[in-house]
Structure 1
């Protein structure tokens, strides 16, 4: 497992994949990423310390990801991240959070006292596809409601059961309402969810222009950020 890397193209930053307690939701039908979490808090703290030692501050920007939400990282790890941010002159942080934590984002803003971009895995704005098929556990009424809390969202494309119209609308909302975004092309894993190759090819033919958008990142493979 690679747990430190750098993103050297858009939004240049260092990125670390840390270990945390289990995801607050942990029921998404497409996700086996949660297998990376661990109930052994001390083990997580020790491993995270070793990973954070790799941070150099070369881009003054750091993204922290884990198999769940940033709120599930140990408190000691948050202290370590704050120390690294100060000592390495980090001026911007990226964290991931489930929709269920949307009313607690201010806690991190107060703790770190530097700009934070919170990313939320929305996956799709189609409520039935998101919550019935993907079982995401994110209930909201509109993209505007999501944008009140999160500057960045993650979308998922290329799944059997998804439609072209769903993807078109999701990309439209991403470009219209959010400052940042990440589009993940689905890679089959240990779950029962299947990839739709025809849909992936269609997405590539019609939305490759997203790769030229300044703050939109397209992950054709789930390890394109260099960690995982």
Structure 2
């Protein structure tokens, strides 16, 4: 079913070194669909018309040059490969009409071989493409045995061949700040940008470790990450924005 969600966000200089607009679109469904931390995968429709109806309204909110943004970040309930082709056309046309120079597409590693087609598709309109992969952690035990991410044996080097940005997640039971430090170190070594999401408990998923998250926010390491222009931090449970971080849409 299609949920009633916040689907447009302007990421400004208060929370990120890269000003950009972010849209959360409706997909045809996630073919992988096994990640235990994800509840977005239910936001979908098997109807192309239903997807397009919502997605056109969301994309109509993009302002581009009007607000000084030249980057559009596209997320959905699956991967960019699972958006209707008609929606992809709407994205491309929106970028052209609004002066967007770069589009960021998020997807699963299993779709890596399709990246070149998307690069060419947007290049036809003079739009650069950046690909972001949800890794969540480079600790393979957590990533595969607990999160069921579907990247067994895949190395950072292999991911970096196809993706320029990555998602890292912290704050679930079993994770430590030391493990997060390793993830961030690897992320910054191989990728242009790291999006760090503070974990939110989902049904049938791991529990949010409130104590570990609080220790993180009170650490010097957190202060260092906040100063790093290649890192964005998101926490949708930080409702009062006490830590002045971004919010997942």
TM-score by length of structure 1 reads 0.94
Task: Check if 1:2 corresponds to 2:6.
Answer: yes
Gaps of 5+ in 2: 240-244
CA distance in 1, matches of 2:154, 2:9: 36
Look up the match of 2:242: none
Report which stretch shifted further, 166-175 or 93-102.
166-175
Q: Within 5 Å, give how 1:29-178 maps onto structure 2.
A: 29-58=36-65, 59-113=69-123, 114-178=127-191
Q: How far 1:198 moved relative to its partner? A: 2.2
Counterpart-to-counterpart distance in 2, 1:32 and 1:120? 17
Distance across 1 between alignment mates of 2:223 and 2:203: 28
> Number of residue pairs matched?
228
Conservation of the 8 A alpha-carbon contact between 1:31 and 1:191: no
Runs of 4+ in 1 over 3 A off after TM superposition: 222-228
Greater length-normalized contact order (CA 8 Å, ≥ 6 residues apart) = 1
- Following superposition, the deviation at residue 227 of structure 1 comes to 6.1
8 A contact 2:36–2:146 mirrored in 1 = yes
Gaps in structure 1 of 5+ consecutive residues? none
* Aligned counterpart, 1:219: 234
| Cα distance change on mapping 1:70 and 1:26 into 2, 3 Å | same
Distance in structure 2 (CA, Å) of the matches to 1:202 and 1:52: 38
Question: Which residue of the other structure, out of 150, 158, 179, is the alignment partner of 2:192?
Answer: 179
Q: Provide the C-alpha distance between the structure 1 equivalents of 2:28 and 2:203, rounded to a whole number of angstroms.
A: 21
Q: Given that residues 56 and 88 in structure 1 are in contact (C-alpha distance below 8 angstroms), is that contact kept between their aligned partners in structure 2?
A: yes
After TM superposition, the score normalised by the length of structure 2 is: 0.86
Of the candidates 16, 21, 24, which is equivalent to residue 14 of structure 1? 21
Instruction: Output the aligned Cα RMSD.
Output: 1.7
Following the alignment from structure 1 to structure 2, what is the Cα–Cα distance between the partners of residues 5 and 164?
A: 29
